[in-house]
Every structure is written in C-alpha cells, then in structure tokens.
Amino acid sequence: MNRIIKIAAYFLGAVVILFAVAFAVLYISYPDVSPAPELSIEYTPDRIERGAYLANHVAVCMDCHSTRDFSLFSGPPAPGTLGAGGDRFDHEMGLPGVFYAKNITPFGISDYTDGELYRLITTGVTNDERPMFPLMPYLYYGKMDPEDIYDIIAYVRSLPSIESNVPDSQPDFPVNLILRTIPKNAEMVKKPSPGDQVAYGAYLVNASGCIECHTQVTPEGMIIEELAYAGGRDFPFPDGTVSTSSNITQCPDTGIGNWTEEMFLSRFKQYVDSGYVVPKVAPGEFNTIMPWTMYAGMKEDDLKAIYAYLKTIPPITNEVVKFTASK
C-alpha cells in the first residue's frame, strides 16, 4: 500500500513539474513576435485626415474605444468619449473572460513609441509583452498596408487627451495561457489599386473586420472559418434582448445574393442622408450593435469595392433572426 502511495506521489510530482515547465516556457517564449520597430511617424494633416477616415469609418477603431450610446439606434459614440475606451466585453457575450477596450487618446498611449504602437496594432502585443485577446482585430490589421496603420497612429495621437482609468482585461483559465500563443508577426501588404475593385474590396473587408461579427464563434471566441460571413453570431444587450449578425454571403434566400449594388449602397448611405435623425431606442426595443452611423461615412467607391468582393463569397444557407426580444 505504501508503495502505491509513493508511486502516486511521484506521478503527481512529475505532473506538477511538467506543468510548471510548460507554464514557464509559455511565459518565457511567448508571445513570439519581433521587437517593436524603430519608427518615427510624421503627423502631417494628410495622415491625420486619412487616419480619421480609417479609424471612424473603415476599421472603426472608435466603435470599441469610445462609449457607445445605445439609447440611440446602432449605438453611436457618445460625444466627449472618442478614444477614451472602457467598452466591456464579458461572459454575457459568450466570451471567455472580461475584456476592456483601452484608452487610445494621448492619455492612454503616452508611454508608447510609434514603433510600439505599430506592433501593438498589428501583432496584439503590448509594450510590456502582454498578449491581447483577438477581440481587438490585430490579426486583420496585421494584413494591412503599413501606411494605413501609420495614418491611424497619427490620428489617435491627434485626439484630445481624455483621462480615464480602464481596468485590465481578465481572461479565464486556460484562455489566459492560450492567448500567449496567438500573436504572430504581421504580414503587411501593399494596398491594392482601387482600380482592381475586387482586390481592393477584399482589402477593405479585412480592414473592417466584417468576418469577425458576421461569423459564429467557438466557445473560446475564435471564428468558425467554414461559416465565414454566414452571420448568426449573437450579441446580447443588458436588457435581455439579443442582436444577431446578418448572413452576408451570396445565398439568395438567407443572405444578400439578390442585392444590387444600389441596394447595398443605400443600406449604408441612408444613415448620412441630410434628413436622417438617429432615433431613440427604449430598452427592449429593436437595436443593433452594427455601427451603421460610422460605416455610413465610408466613401461610395469603397462601399462599391466591398460589394464587388462580397459578390465572390460562396453562398451559405443560414436563416438568421436578427433580433430577439427579452423573455
């Protein structure tokens, strides 16, 4: 009997040692990305203007890094909160932990060099070597043109500084360990010519992170590639209602296969029509997390390019109920 106890104790000890070694390797060797580059960006008016366009209407950085006012349709950013962060994403949204969008005004990023900020945006690794949960779409930003990232950096540096203390994110175990293995070196590309409409549209769809909301995810929060763009991802509201993303594949019955280019454009541009007023939404009434009022500011040629690319997406049949009332 004593021998059995000894063997069990040795086995348990070996398991503990192996776990400790694995834990140490994860924290010493990961995240495995290159050091931040030496980079000094010239904050020209043109860069800032282009960065404002990307951050507010394409990559919509300000969607998460501001306080969204969901008393209004589609939750436009509340005045005076642009870039201040604090948006919370947690278990009620099906995520493995509690995550916060950080303050990206000068108050929040003053301790970052341009190179460190560039690495953060494109690889998801902070200047103290912590990995970010890929809810921050760095995996997509790491496939953009470096010039566009420089423009975004120039823009956020130009924002009015807002003091806010955003809590640190707290991923659940073992996701906190898995996160360390996800960041990778960016695979930056040169932005396609707008004349190559499909390629340019693919670039914009990646920059906009369309796949992230319009695709169902695993319990760990990772998108299910075989269901890309088929919609069906749920986004619960605090009042118990649920907004569900639309199917934007070319399925004619459950997606947008029957949409014309004009229909696609008008779906966005109606929110910047001179007569449009963002309606109030009471708790329990229909609302959506889709930031229509932000994407509506995208240039028509850019929206046309996105439409051209979406026409190449294979159809997936997936009937979506876009809004579910609270029980």
Poorest-pLDDT segment among 86-90, 240-244, 281-285: 86-90
pLDDT at 298 over 90: yes
Of 172, 191, 210, the residue at which a domain comes to its end is 191
- Convert the pLDDT of each residue in 217-234 to its tens digit: 888 778 899 999 999 999
Of 167, 205, 191, the residue nearest 312 (C-alpha): 205
Question: Does 219 fall in a domain?
Answer: yes
**Residue 180 tokens, joined:** 């360390």
- Do 251 and 295 fall into the same domain? yes
What pLDDT, on the 0 to 100 scale, is given for residue 209? 95
Of 115, 91, 87, 80, the residue nearest 102 (C-alpha): 87
Of 152, 174, 191, the residue at which a domain comes to its end is 191
What pLDDT, on the 0 to 100 scale, is given for residue 29? 62
Please compute the mean of the pLDDT values over residues 77-82 and round it to a whole number: 95
- Do 160 and 45 fall into the same domain? yes
% pLDDT > 90, the chain: 81
What pLDDT, on the 0 to 100 scale, is given for residue 185? 97
- Which residue reads 């008008």 in tokens? 266
- Do 162 and 215 fall into the same domain? no
pLDDT at 43 over 90: yes
Number of domains comprising the chain: 2
Q: Please, what is the average pLDDT of the chain?
A: 91
- Do 184 and 264 fall into the same domain? no
- Do 185 and 269 fall into the same domain? no
Question: Does 4 fall in a domain?
Answer: no
- Do 61 and 198 fall into the same domain? no
- Convert the pLDDT of each residue in 256-277 to its tens digit: 999 999 999 999 999 998 889 9
Can you point out the beta strands (E) in the chain?
88-89, 97-100, 170-171, 234-236, 242-244, 323-324
- Do 62 and 184 fall into the same domain? yes
What pLDDT, on the 0 to 100 scale, is given for residue 15? 45
- Do 45 and 185 fall into the same domain? yes
Residue 178, domain extent = 41-191
pTM of the prediction? 0.91
Return all residues near 230 (Cβ < 8 A) that are at least 6 apart. 214, 215, 216, 247, 249, 251, 255, 316, 318
- Do 244 and 160 fall into the same domain? no
Please compute the mean of the pLDDT values over residues 108-137 and round it to a whole number: 96
Query: Contact at 8 Å (CB) between 189 and 130?
Result: no
- Do 107 and 216 fall into the same domain? no
* 20 or 89: which leads in pLDDT: 89
* 115 or 177: which leads in pLDDT: 115
- Do 47 and 177 fall into the same domain? yes
What pLDDT, on the 0 to 100 scale, is given for residue 281? 96
Of 191, 214, 234, the residue at which a domain comes to its end is 191
- Do 57 and 109 fall into the same domain? yes
